[in-house]
C-alpha cells in the first residue's frame, strides 16, 4: 500500500526523471513525474509517450481526455470500475485516491490508496475500481481513456464505505460531498467480478483454427459461416470492444486457384483487404492483432535461412496477397505477425496425402528442390499462445518446428517409413518437371526461416521429425 510522506506534500519542483512504481494491484502503476516551478507557476509533461514507455507505462493508446473539476474540499467521486484503461493525473489541488481490484482472479479485492497531487499520476488498468476525495478546494482531475465514453453505458461500482476494503478516507464520508448514485454503490461481496476481455479466433474451422481452439478453450472460435472476413460490412459490425486479442487464422490458401479470375479476387479480399480492416480496427479499438502469414512472401532465391527482416519478393497471386496483408497488419500498434511454412494439422495436408498413398500402395513422385521445415498446427498454436501470454515484444516472428531443413521428398520418404512402406517407394523429381504442362502457381525453392527471434522469447520449437512421428502414430 502506497502512502505519501509529509515531505512529498505540496511538491513544487522535481528535477529527476519520470519513474514508475508497481503496486499491490497487478498492472496498477504509480508514475512520479518532474514538476518545474518558478514565480509564474509550474509546468509538467502530463503524458509524454516516449519517456513513459521507457519508464514502464504500457503503450495504451488513449482516445479521449476527460477533466473533472471539483469546487470544494471533501468532494468524493467513485468507486467506479470502467471497462477501459485510464491514466489519471491532477492539474490543480490534492486528492486522496483509492483503487480496488474488481477483476476476476486472485487479486480481486486488493486495495491501494494514497495522497497525490500534480507530481503523481496513476495508470489504472481495465477492471480496477477507482475513486478519490478532494483534500483542497478547486481540484482539477484529468484522465486519458482508451475507449470513447458512450451514454448509458453501465459498469460495476463499489461502496465507498465498504468495510471489507476499509479505505481510510481522510475526511469522514459523513462530512463529504458525493452523489446519490455513489451513495448507493454495492458492497464488495455483491460485486460481480469483471471478466477479462475475450480472445477471438477467426478461421476457427481450419487446421490452425482448430488447434488454437484446443489450446485456448476459453476463446471464441468462429468460422466463415459465422463471420466471413471478406465481408467488410460484417467485419465493421462485429462487437470488437469485447475482445482483447484477435487471432486471424483465416486465409484463402488455394495457391493455384488464386491464379484464376475468381480466385484472384477472393484471395485479395481475404488475404489483403480483410487484414487491412482488422489492422485499422486494432488501431482504433486497441485489441492485439495476431495474423498468420506464410513463407510464400519470399521468392526463395536465398542461401540460408530467411530472417524476420528479409525483404519480401512474392512470386504468385496468393503470395502477393499475403505480402499485402503483412504490410497492412504491421501498421497495427499491437500486432504479432507470424510467418510460417508447410502447415500440418487436422485437415487436408501433404502428410495425410502421403500417408494415404502409402496405405493404398501408390508410389508417388515428389519434388526434391523445395526446402523448408514442417510446422504442426498445434506447435504453431503453442507459439502464438506463448507470445500473447508472455507479453513478448510486438512485431514479426518466424515460427516453424525445429530440426534440419529438408525437402518435400524427404518428408514423403519419412511418412512412408512411418506407414510401414519402404522409403525408396518415393521417387524424386524437380519442380520444373513436376509442374510441366500443369496450371500451377510458382513456389519458393527455399522456405527455411530463422527461429532465433521466437527462441529469444523463451519458446523452444519442437523437432519436426519428432512431431511427425507422433502425428503419423
Instruction: Clarify whether 155 is annotated catalytic.
Output: no
For residues 397 and 451, what is the distance between their CA atoms, to the nearest angstrom? Answer: 8
| 8 Å CB contact between 470 and 351 | no
The bridge status of strand 64-70 relative to strand 335-340 is unpaired
In the residue annotation, 143 being an active-site residue is answered as: yes
Residue of 143, 318, 336, 397 with catalytic role: 143
- Grid cell 507422433 in the structure block, residue: 470
Return phi, psi of residue 128, to 5°.
-100, 120
Half-sphere exposure of 337 (CA within 13 A, CB side): 24
- Catalytic annotation, residues: 80, 143
Amino acid at each position: 500500500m502506497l502512502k505519501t510522506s509529509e515531505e512529498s506534500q505540496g511538491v513544487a519542483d522535481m528535477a529527476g526523471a519520470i519513474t514508475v512504481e508497481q503496486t499491490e494491484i497487478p498492472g496498477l502503476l504509480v508514475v512520479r513525474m518532474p514538476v518545474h516551478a518558478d514565480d509564474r507557476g509550474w509546468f509538467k509533461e502530463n503524458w509524454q509517450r516516449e519517456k513513459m514507455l521507457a519508464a514502464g507505462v504500457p503503450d495504451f493508446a488513449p482516445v479521449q481526455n476527460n477533466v473533472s473539476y471539483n469546487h470544494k474540499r471533501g468532494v468524493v467521486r467513485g468507486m467506479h470500475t470502467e471497462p477501459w484503461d485510464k491514466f489519471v493525473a491532477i492539474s490543480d489541488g490534492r486528492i486522496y485516491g483509492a483503487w480496488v481490484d474488481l477483476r476476476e482472479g486472485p487479486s480481486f479485492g486488493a486495495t491501494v490508496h494514497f495522497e497525490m497531487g500534480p507530481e503523481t499520476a496513476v495508470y489504472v488498468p481495465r477492471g480496477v475500481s477507482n475513486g478519490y476525495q478532494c483534500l483542497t478546494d478547486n481540484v482539477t482531475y484529468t484522465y486519458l481513456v482508451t475507449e470513447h465514453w458512450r451514454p448509458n453505458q453501465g459498469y460495476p461500482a463499489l461502496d465507498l464505505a465498504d468495510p471489507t476494503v476499509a479505505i481510510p478516507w481522510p475526511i469522514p464520508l459523513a462530512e463529504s460531498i458525493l452523489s446519490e448514485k455513489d451513495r448507493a454503490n454495492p458492497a464488495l461481496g455483491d460485486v460481480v467480478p469483471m471478466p477479462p476481455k475475450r480472445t477471438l479466433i477467426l478461421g476457427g474451422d481450419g487446421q490452425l483454427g482448430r488447434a488454437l481452439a484446443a489450446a485456448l478453450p476459453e476463446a471464441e472460435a468462429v468460422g466463415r459461416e459465422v463471420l466471413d472476413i471478406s465481408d467488410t460490412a460484417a467485419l465493421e459490425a462485429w462487437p470488437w470492444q469485447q475482445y482483447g486479442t484477435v487471432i486471424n487464422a483465416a486465409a484463402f490458401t488455394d495457391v493455384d486457384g488464386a491464379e484464376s479470375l475468381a480466385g484472384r479476387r477472393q484471395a485479395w479480399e481475404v488475404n489483403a483487404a480483410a487484414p487491412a480492416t482488422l489492422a485499422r480496427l486494432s488501431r482504433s479499438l486497441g485489441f492485439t492483432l495476431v495474423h498468420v502469414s506464410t513463407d510464400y512472401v519470399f521468392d526463395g532465391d536465398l542461401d540460408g535461412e530467411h530472417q524476420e527482416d528479409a525483404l519480401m519478393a512474392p512470386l504468385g497471386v496468393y503470395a502477393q496477397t499475403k505480402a499485402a496483408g503483412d504490410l497492412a497488419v504491421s501498421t497495427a500498434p499491437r500486432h504479432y505477425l507470424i510467418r510460417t511454412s508447410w502447415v500440418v494439422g487436422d485437415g487436408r495436408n501433404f502428410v495425410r496425402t502421403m500417408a494415404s498413398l502409402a496405405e493404398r500402395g501408390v508410389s508417388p513422385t515428389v519434388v526434391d528442390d523445395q526446402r523448408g521445415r514442417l510446422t504442426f498446427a498445434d506447435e504453431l498454436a503453442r507459439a502464438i499462445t506463448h507470445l500473447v501470454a508472455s507479453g513478448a515484444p510486438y512485431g514479426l516472428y518466424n515460427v516453424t518446428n525445429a530440426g534440419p531443413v529438408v525437402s518435400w521428398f524427404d518428408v514423403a520418404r519419412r511418412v512412408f517409413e512411418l506407414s510401414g512402406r519402404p522409403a525408396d517407394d518415393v521417387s524424386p523429381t524437380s519442380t520444373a518437371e513436376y509442374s510441366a504442362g500443369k496450371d500451377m502457381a510458382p513456389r519458393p525453392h527455399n522456405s527455411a526461416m530463422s527461429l532465433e527471434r521466437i527462441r529469444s522469447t523463451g519458446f523452444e520449437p519442437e523437432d519436426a521429425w519428432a512431431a511427425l512421428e507422433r502425428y503419423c502414430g
